[in-house]
Every structure is written in structure tokens, then in C-alpha cells.
Amino acid sequence: MDQDLFNHLQSFLTERRIALFKEVLNKRTRHFTVVTEDVYQLHNTSAVMRTCDVFGIQDLYVVEELAGKRIDKEIAMGAQKWVSLQRRSSIQECIAEVKEKGYRVIATTPHHDAHNLHDFDVTQKAAFFFGKESDGLSDIVMEAADGYLKIPMYGFTESLNISVSAAIILQQVVTKLKQTEIGWQLSEEEKLEIEFKWMKRTIKSHKKIIERFQQDKKL
């Protein structure tokens, strides 16, 4: 990253905005991530994204093998400025990718031999997979999962809306994580990289500003 360009862009922000960026980044994590599989209800995907932002989850993987590009417009509701959206077209490739990054694949399901949310071990990196409310996760995810997680329920209903499930799970695991001594925070390099992206998304004329800066630098 060009540190001079970073400093230049930062000069267009208020001190309050700069301080807010620092404060939020200090609470962000990649210890957990979220993956949605073919969640074609548009409002659900955007709600999950906002939930990730609220609970400090930096990355959201959206796998669209069946739904295609239909969620694009709905995703652009504000939280996309702050959460790193990772679109993928293959669930198998996404599983391989998160495993390569050291995540355990955790399938969220009310069935199967699943652990209760309260007993979940937060010390290991985990990617929480969420599927369609009607069908749940695919067999591919269920077979590749390193663990299964369920929310304790005490009524007749056996499932929750995906955005509600994500909110309950993330609130619980993030709260538990921050009570540990684990180094769950982003690295300084990651913070700078994300802050740079946030600045560009915040400053309306950032393209012209960057272009002018680069031209002046050549002189």
C-alpha cells in the first residue's frame, strides 16, 4: 500500500471519522467468518451482512450457485461499505478456501448430531455456514463439515429465519470470544488495508483525488 496516498486520502476525513474507523477496526475480527449458501431471499442476505457488521465479523462469503446475481441490488444497503463481501459461485471451492485459511467448517442446523450453541468452543477459527430456511444446507456442506451447531429451541417450531439465526449465533460466539485471551483482532496490516478501502468508499470523489495525487507524484 502507498502510505503517502493513504495519508492523503485520510486528510479528506474529519478527525471524528478517523477515530471511528480506528475504534471499529480494533473490534473487528477474522477469527470467525460467515458463509451463506444460495439464500435467494434478498432481504435475508442483506440482513446477514448487517449482522456481520454489527458483531464485528469482517468477511461474509455469499455462494450463489443457484441464485445467480439476483441479490446484488439488495446487498447494497449500507453495510457493504464496511463488510468485505466475498462472492463465490461454487460451494465446494468456498469450503476448500475457508479450510485452507484455517477455518473449521461449522454447519448450522437444527437437526443432525449438533452441539448446542452454549457449548460451542470459540478458541478455534470457525466459518459458520447458513443455508436456505426451507431446505437448509446442501449435502456437500453437511458432509464436509467439521462440526454442527444448533440453537436451543423450546417450542414447536424447528427452525428460525436465517438472519435471526445468524444474529443469535454471532452474538453468542463473539461475546464468548472477547472474554478469552485469544488474539482475535486483525493484524495492523489488515487494519490498514481495510481502512484504505473504507476511505475510498466514504470519499465520493476518491477516484479523481487518487488520479490527481498520482499525477502530481510523477511531476
Higher pLDDT, 124 or 38: 124
Joined grid coordinates for residue 110 = 437444527
Percent of the residues in the chain that have a pLDDT greater than 70, as a whole number? 93
Alpha-carbon distances of 13 from 24, 189, 197, rounded to whole Å: 16, 20, 13
Mean pLDDT, the chain, whole residue set: 89
**Residue-wise pLDDT tens digits, 35-88:** 999 877 777 888 899 999 999 999 999 998 765 555 455 554 577 889 999 999
* Same-domain check for residues 38 and 18: no
Q: Domain span at residue 141?
A: 29-184
* Same-domain check for residues 172 and 112: yes
**Residue-wise pLDDT tens digits, 184-195:** 999 999 999 999
Which residue, 95, 84, 32, 88, is CA-closest to 62? 88
Cβ-based neighbours of 18, under 8 Å, separated by 6 or more: 10
* Same-domain check for residues 178 and 90: yes
* Same-domain check for residues 195 and 159: no
**Residue-wise pLDDT tens digits, 137-163:** 999 999 999 999 998 888 888 778 889
* Same-domain check for residues 92 and 168: yes
* Same-domain check for residues 62 and 149: yes
What pLDDT is stored for residue 99 in this prediction?
Answer: 98
* Same-domain check for residues 118 and 214: no
CATH of the domain at 180: 3.40.1280.10
The pLDDT of residue 210 is above 60:
yes
Number of domains comprising the chain: 2
